[in-house]
Every structure is written in structure tokens, then in C-alpha cells.
Chains A and B, each alone.
Chain A
Amino acid sequence: MKFTEDHEWLLSDGDVVVVGITEHASEQLGDVVFVELPEVGTQVAKGDEVVVIESVKAASDIMAPIDGEITEINDSLTDDPGKVNEDPMGAAWFFKIKPTDDGQIDGYMDEDAYKDFID
């Protein structure tokens, strides 16, 4: 699993990468009340705003961590946004993306480096 400085996690799963936000990010956000996901099939570039999260405090954008095509989204979050607080590293993944460049993910932090980053 890899981690971005924007507190996203990336997990390679076959030819796609699963993306979510970290436990740390979900704690900082507070209770999530709304999630807006991209459409399947959307081509995105690294840095594009792909997900909008609203918590009881504020709205936040989640950026695409790599270039690629959105192949699947976690629709269950739309009806149950609270999942993002309950299981951010598991059941509350946001989307799956098919990378344009398989090497792009390698530039991100591993778990140890991310732990150092948030301390």
C-alpha cells in the first residue's frame, strides 16, 4: 500500500489501483455526511479533483493521485457516507483507477514513511 501527502492510500489490485483516504484523514475531517464520486469511464489526470467529501465541518476535494481511467466507484458511500469514518482503510474505498503509467504509483510513500509524515 502506498500513501500520498494528501492522505490518500493506493492499493494495487491486478491491473487497477484502489484509492481511499487514510484513518488519519478521516479523523481530521470529522463525521462525513456527503460523498460525490466521479463517473465510471472518466479519464483523469493526476491532481484532478475527482471526489468531493463533506463532513460536519467543511467540504474537501480528493485529487486523482495518478493518471488513468476510473473503472469502478464505491456507490455504497453515497447512501452511507459515515462508512468513511467507520472503515476508511477498507470498506470505504472511493474508486478504482486503471493507471496510464504503471510506474507512477512508485513515487509515493510506503507505510513507514507515511507514519513519519503525519507525526
Chain B
Amino acid sequence: MSDTLRKTPLHALHVELGAKMVPFAGYDMPVQYPLGVLKEHQHTRASAGLFDVSHMGQVIVRATGGYDAAARATEVLVPVDLLGLAQGRQRYGFFTNDQGGILDDLMLANRGDHLFVVVNAACKDADIAHMRAGLEGCEVEEITDRALLALQGPAAEGVLQALVPGVAEMKFMDVAIVDSRFGELWISRSGYTGEDGYEISVHADQAQGLARALLAHDAVEPIGLGARDSLRLEAGLCLYGHDIDSGTTPVEAGLTWAIQKVRRAGGARAGGFPGAGIILDQISNGAPRKRVGLRPDGRAPMREGTALFTDAEGGTPIGAVTSGAFGPTLGAPMSMGYVPAALSAPGTPLYGEVRGKRMPVTVAELPFVPANFKR
């Protein structure tokens, strides 16, 4: 089993640090370090956490007409305003299918003469095939010789600035290519925790050196996938394959904000992406169901798959939980799930069936823990 799993350039470091390794999206990845999930989560919110996200896909899209040509071609696959994206900036987006469902969610950056894309590990092979088939006149290059690290938390800026002067000036969702003693770094000020922080692409040969230099700071602890999941859930961020998938539309998922006006009905480049008819209709007329936050009344977490009901007894499920865990910063359990639009207002009382018992749960605002971005 383990020899069929792929390893990131930081694999040996994880083992050395005492990580518990688990298979994730085809990679042998650290789920937690000796600190444990709860303390890793709290450390990230209080100070800074270092995550290995090298399993994610890094892709460069080039066209002979430069960034604008690559952006125009990519707008055929994503409902995002890429032509209007300024150089040195990135945007969140998604590939959609003809039913308006989400094939993957991703980050898209304008890097001057090309488009840089970061996609989910589990989807990357399909995404790259999808881009090669759908991006007319573009060269799609998968970057396989670079690691991707995330440094997240309020101390991230100070720690990285000391190693890579200048990064403190970056704003949320800025991207930059920076020379450093770890070679050329591709840095974005973003992440998946709701905290300020950076994602840093580094050549595989330099990845361990950079990780060790970051971990040398007292402020920084290595953080596993376990805490990554509770951090993103507190921040109300979707996990592909759970909260969003090919059967959920961006409107149902509450991601309409990522579809800029220029791509919506009446916009200069309205539609023109897969499933546009369905998605634009839902933006105008509403979606039948919505992704919502859910706060169980007790302490018992309602995990993925928990059926939701309107009543304490009887009836059929009106929806289900798609992610659920205990929120260490929230100090309480939290879930996300889909419910009919009529039952999606914060404060709506519902029931979740846990171990055969209907437990009260209340529809809640997302995020559960406010974001701490440096806008």
C-alpha cells in the first residue's frame, strides 16, 4: 500500500518530526504531529502553522497572446472574470460542468505573461486533462518539480518577512515571484484557514531548507491535515468532494460572490462557461437548496452524512451534513450542510439524527470564526 502512495518533497521531514502519516488523495500525508490536532489548530490561530500542501496541483497556462489570451481561453471553463484580474492578483474560482455542478475549486493568478492555477490534489489529473481539452490555443504545463507550503496565522507575516524581505507589503490575494536564498519562490497571500498567511511554492530541492528555516522560529509549528480541516471548517470554507462536488452548483454552495458581474446576466461577458444557463438562472431566481452553517445545540459533533429533519420525530430528511467536526476555537461542534432555501435562514431550528436520536441543531451564519485576512 505505502509504496503505491506518492511522497511530497517534505515526506522525510514529516517522519522525522514524528507525524502520523495517512493516505490522502494518493499521497502519504501527515494528519497530525505529536502536538495533536486540537493544539495544532489553536497554535495556528494564536501564532503560525506550517502546512505541506505539495500534493496540490500547480499549473501554468500560457498562450501566444500572453496573459489576456490565456485568461480569455480559461473563461470558457470558469465563470470568473479573469480578463479583469490585475497583474499580481489571484482569484478563487471553479470549473463547472454542463449541469452547473462544480468539477473542482481552484485559485487563478495573473502572473504577467501567463495564468497560474492551483487545484486540489484529488482532482488534479482530471483538471489538467480538462484544461488540455478545453483551453484553445493554450499550453498547459503541470509543475511537478516544486513543493507548496502554507504558512498561516497571525505570526506568519513576521516570520516570512524575516526570511523573504518584502512579503509584508503583499495584500490578501496578491501573488509575487520573489528571489530568495531558497531560490525562486512563488508566493501568494492566501490560505485555507481563515487566518492571514502565505502559500509558498518552492523548488523541490529547496523545500526542506525553507521548511526547516520556518520551523526554526518559536512561533511556527508543523500542522497536519486534521487541524487543516477544522481550521477551514471554522472559516466556512468548502472542501471539494464533501461540501461541493459535481452535483452542487456554485449558487447552492453560496459561492455566487466568486462569479463577478461581468460574467453574470447583463454583463459584458455574461455566461460562456459550462452550465451557464442553470447557474445564471439560479443567480436571478434563487437555487432550490443552500449550503448553510449548522450549530448543534449540544456538544456532540454532527459529522458528514448526518440526516437533517424539520421535526424531532417522523418526516423524511430535508437535507444532510456535508462536513462536521468540533471547532477548537469555537469551543463547540459545527457543521455545514445543504437544506431547502426556505429553511436556510440563520436561526432556523432543525434536527440532526445522530446515532438514531434526533438532536437539535440551528442554522448559523458562516464563517463560524471571523476571518483575519490582511486586506
Contact = CB atoms under 8 A, between A and B. Distances in A.
Contacts, number: 42
Interface centre among B37, B39, B230, B333 (most CB of A within 10 A): B37
Interface residues of B, number: 16
B275 interface: no
B226 A33 contact: no
Given A30-B32, A33-B301, A36-B300, A52 B355 contact: yes
A78 B38 contact: no
A31 B300 contact: no
Contacts of A56: 36-38, 226, 230, 325-326, 328
Nearest to A31: B38
A57 B226 contact: yes
Given A54-B300, A54-B326, A30 B226 contact: yes
B303 interface: yes
Interface of B: 32, 36-39, 226, 230, 299-301, 303, 325-326, 328, 333, 355
A108 interface: no
A82 to B, nearest CB: 8
B326 A57 contact: no
Given A31-B36, A33-B326, 16 more contacts: A30-B32, A31-B37, A31-B39, A33-B38, A33-B299, A33-B301, A34-B299, A34-B300, A34-B326, A54-B301, A56-B325, A56-B328, A57-B37, A57-B226, A78-B299, A85-B36
A96 to B, nearest CB: 23
Contacts of A59: 301, 303, 355
A57 B41 CA distance: 13
Contacts of B226: 30, 56-57
A78 B298 CA distance: 10
Contacts of A85: 36
Contact of A34 (B38, B39, B230, B333): B333
Interface string A76-88: 0010011001000
